[in-house]
Amino acid sequence: NMGDRIDIIEQNGGIIDCVYVVEENYWNGRKELQMRLKDFK
């Protein structure tokens, strides 16, 4: 959980650099792509 870092987003006017991975998510018989946030600054 990165909720404690919300101030970083607010300080930069909502513009951030993100590191994420693309994953397949299988749930309830459906397959969807999702981006999992790893870090931001």
Q: Please give the tally of structural domains in the chain.
A: 1
Amino acid (1-letter code) at residue 9: I
Phi, psi dihedral angles at 24 (to 5 degrees): -95, 135
Mean pLDDT of 10-32: 93
User: How much is the pTM?
Assistant: 0.61
Closest CA to 11 of 36, 38, 33, 41: 41
pLDDT of residue 2: 81
pLDDT of residue 1: 74
Q: Could you tell me the residue range of the domain that residue 20 belongs to?
A: 3-40
pLDDT of residue 38: 94
pLDDT of residue 9: 83
Which spans in 1-41 are helix H? Answer: 6-11
In this prediction, what percent of the chain has a pLDDT beyond 90? 56
